[in-house]
């Protein structure tokens, strides 16, 4: 069950986990506040305030960290310094079905579809379709990307455990129920036809079995 804590929070998430919809719904239900237009202050496109991430924390703003963004790793030491002395709720949002997540991500990246309004092309034939010879490189990229995301989750959880700070781990499907509205972007029908790979499915299943993250949640 997802706990509402009524205080500022840090949401750790990765792509295609409904993280933005969840962030703003959780923000609303917990009467928390966010810096204007900067719920992801560590994204590459955002300019941090003069005091950096510590200034954001000092003002008790809630924010989201995307674990696949390199800038987040660079700021981790500063977050480590702040975490023991701040009264924040810490949330880890992940998606169990890595195979669906990766195909959704590939579809979005290759077709520039990141929200429902982007679905403007009328026919399946207009979307990018992967060829058989593309599969090995796609599998390698997907496993590398997922491993880096899981490694980052682990780094953050270890910091929280080090200081005995409680945190919530929330799976994508539970987040969808919490949001309580249809968050589907309507892309599944397309990426199911665009890309199927037994090799990718097996490799991701093996990653779930072997990666440290899954023994920590």
Task: Assess if residue 79 is contained within a domain.
Answer: yes
**Dmax over Cα atoms in the chain, in whole Å?**
54
Task: Assess if residue 75 is contained within a domain.
Answer: yes
pLDDT confidence bin for 184, thresholds 50/70/90: low
Query: At which residue do the structure tokens 């300019």 appear?
Result: 47
Region 80-84 average pLDDT: 89
Select the highest-mean-pLDDT range: 30-39, 46-55, 109-118, 170-179: 170-179
CATH number of the domain residue 178 falls in: 3.40.50
Q: At residue 62, does pLDDT exceed 90?
A: yes
Count: domains in the chain: 1
Rounded Cα distance, 208 and 167, in Å:
21
Give the pLDDT confidence score for residue 197 in this predicted structure.
85
Task: Assess if residue 129 is contained within a domain.
Answer: yes
Task: Assess if residue 4 is contained within a domain.
Answer: no
Task: Assess if residue 3 is contained within a domain.
Answer: no
Task: Assess if residue 146 is contained within a domain.
Answer: yes
Task: Assess if residue 1 is contained within a domain.
Answer: no
The pLDDT mean for the chain works out to 86
Q: Could you tell me the residue range of the domain that residue 183 belongs to? A: 9-216
Task: Assess if residue 92 is contained within a domain.
Answer: yes
Rounded Cα distance, 21 and 13, in Å:
12
Q: At residue 193, does pLDDT exceed 70?
A: no
Rounded Cα distance, 95 and 4, in Å:
20
């Amino acid at each position: 069950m997802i706990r509402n804590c009524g205080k500022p929070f840090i949401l750790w998430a990765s792509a295609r986990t409904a993280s933005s919809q969840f962030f703003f719904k959780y923000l609303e239900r917990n009467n928390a506040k966010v810096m204007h237009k900067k719920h992801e202050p560590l994204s590459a496109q955002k300019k941090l305030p003069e005091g950096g991430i510590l200034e954001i924390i000092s003002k008790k703003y809630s924010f989201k960290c995307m674990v696949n963004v390199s800038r987040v790793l660079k700021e981790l030491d500063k977050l480590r310094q702040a975490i023991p002395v701040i009264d924040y709720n810490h949330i880890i949002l992940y998606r169990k079905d890595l195979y669906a997540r990766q195909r959704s991500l590939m579809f979005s990246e290759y077709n520039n579809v990141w929200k429902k309004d982007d679905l403007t092309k009328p026919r399946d034939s207009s979307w990018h379709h992967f060829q058989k010879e593309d599969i090995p490189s796609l599998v390698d990229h997907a496993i590398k990307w997922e491993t880096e995301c899981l490694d980052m989750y682990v780094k953050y959880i270890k910091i929280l455990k080090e200081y005995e700070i409680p945190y919530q781990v929330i799976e994508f499907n539970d987040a969808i129920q919490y949001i309580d509205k249809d968050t589907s972007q309507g892309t599944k029908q397309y990426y199911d036809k665009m890309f199927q790979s037994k090799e990718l499915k097996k490799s991701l299943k093996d990653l779930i079995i072997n990666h440290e993250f899954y023994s920590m949640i």
